[in-house]
Amino acid sequence: MAFQMAELARLLPGQDETQVPAGLDYVVFDATQPADNVLTAERVALGRKLYFDVRLSADGSVSCATCHDVTRGFTDQRPTSEGIGGQVGKRNAPTTMNVALLQTLFWDGRSPSLDHQATQPVLNPIEMGHPDGDAAVRAIAGDPDYQQQFQAAYGREVNYLDIGRALGAFERTLVFMDSPFRRFLQGDASAISAEAREGWRLFNEEGRCVTCHPLNTGNPFGTDNRFHNIGVSASQQDFESLAATALRALAEDPSEQKLDELALGTDLGELGRFMVTRNRSDIGNFRTPILANIGITAPYMHDGTMPTLWDVVDHYNKGGEANLYLDGGVEALALSDRQIDDLVAFLFSMTDDRFAAQNDAAMAAQRAAAATERRFRDTALAMRGKLTFEDRITGQ
């Protein structure tokens, strides 16, 4: 953990928590501050300590930083994450960078706020495994430093809800938006390469990425904060059967803890947003992720099945995995290999300058991997994007 803390100090040296982070509009920054948990130095310091504390797990082996490693793009760079006792969940750990900009949390949006979300892994039997909030409190309440810090931050003794609030306060400081692409948006055409500029054009035109990933000076994050079925791993799922099983399970126990356990630890999690809303239109829907720093947060998608951004674009290029609930906007794109390369170059331009070396290394590694394996590529399906609608449905 010492190495992670040193890296965090490099990334955020002498940060004033009350100031707007570089690359973020002050109006957006103000909107991220909940009225009952406005950022203060004391709350951020407490949350920082909690983020790295393995005592928040039942066996003292896992902290927030285990799955959201500062040196790995605030992820664990695993397809799906490992919790206490070597248990492996069903979901990829999203980065904790820029999570303050999300309207709901988790891949399925089952948590309404960052402060609430921060408490859920502590009780999940796969992740950190405390049986209840009181057990988590007991694990740290005897620490004199915590006793003092909770009083300084919230004027109360150590308690479970303030654990979540403090973690939320700290994570709201993890804003990294100062990228070459941001400077490009502000008018510096030389900030990104010619390939990335062509990728930006493709992003908005042939690639149709902007439909779900809006990007402009007012919204440089790259998410619509909505949920979509884009056909990830859909060919492996019997959505109808899973939905029926989920409805029975949630009728027996509708608690948020049960929902959390089912989403992370069972195949029912493949239903995505449906687990939260119980609406058929949400079957297989998952959050549109923020694109800032996407280059350093591989592997991709809710299940971590795509190792590279080339895989991600290949997936979209062929129109995703066909399923009854596929979002209507997901269709074959007929992009060439050169166009795919340009789109990927653009996506890597969205990484904050503080991660420049890591970003370059990630791009080189992903390029090398893509040169040897492209298991999501299907040129025949992708080229259907050149056909007229009539030809596609008649099989011509």
Convert the pLDDT of each residue in 309-321 to its tens digit. 999 999 999 999 9
Quickly state the pLDDT bin for 20 (edges 50, 70, 90): confident
Convert the pLDDT of each residue in 152-196 to its tens digit. 999 999 999 999 999 999 999 999 999 999 999 999 999 999 999
Question: Tokens standing for 68?
Answer: 């959201």
Q: Do the beta carbons of residue 39 and residue 173 sit within 8 Å?
A: yes
Lookup result for tokens 């297989």 = 284
Q: Do the beta carbons of residue 166 and residue 119 sit within 8 Å?
A: no
Q: CA 48, 49, 51, 52 torsion: positive or negative?
A: positive
Give the domain ranges of the chain. Answer: 2-171, 180-231+288-394, 234-283
How far is Cα 140 from Cα 3, in angstroms, rounded to an integer?
23
User: What average pLDDT does the structure give for the chain?
Assistant: 94
Convert the pLDDT of each residue in 124-133 to its tens digit. 999 999 999 9
DSSP secondary structure letter of residue 383 = G
Report the CATH fold assignment for 180-231+288-394.
Cytochrome Bc1 Complex; Chain D, domain 2 (1.10.760)
Q: Do the beta carbons of residue 22 and residue 220 sit within 8 Å?
A: no
The arithmetic mean of pLDDT across residues 379-388, rounded, is 79
Quickly state the pLDDT bin for 388 (edges 50, 70, 90): low
Select the CATH number that applies to the domain covering 2-171 from these four: 2.40.270.10, 1.10.760.10, 3.40.190.10, 3.60.10.10.
1.10.760.10
Does residue 69 carry a pLDDT above 80? Answer: yes
Alpha carbon of residue 97 to chain centroid: 8
Q: CA 334, 337, 343, 344 torsion: positive or negative?
A: positive
Residue 75: what residue type?
T
Q: Which of 203, 178, 204, 171 is nearest to 48 (CA)?
A: 171
Q: Say yes or no: do domains 2-171 and 180-231+288-394 share a fold.
A: yes
The arithmetic mean of pLDDT across residues 361-365, rounded, is 98
Does residue 114 carry a pLDDT above 80? Answer: yes
The arithmetic mean of pLDDT across residues 93-98, rounded, is 97
pLDDT at 360: 98
Does residue 290 carry a pLDDT above 50? Answer: yes
- Structure pTM? 0.94
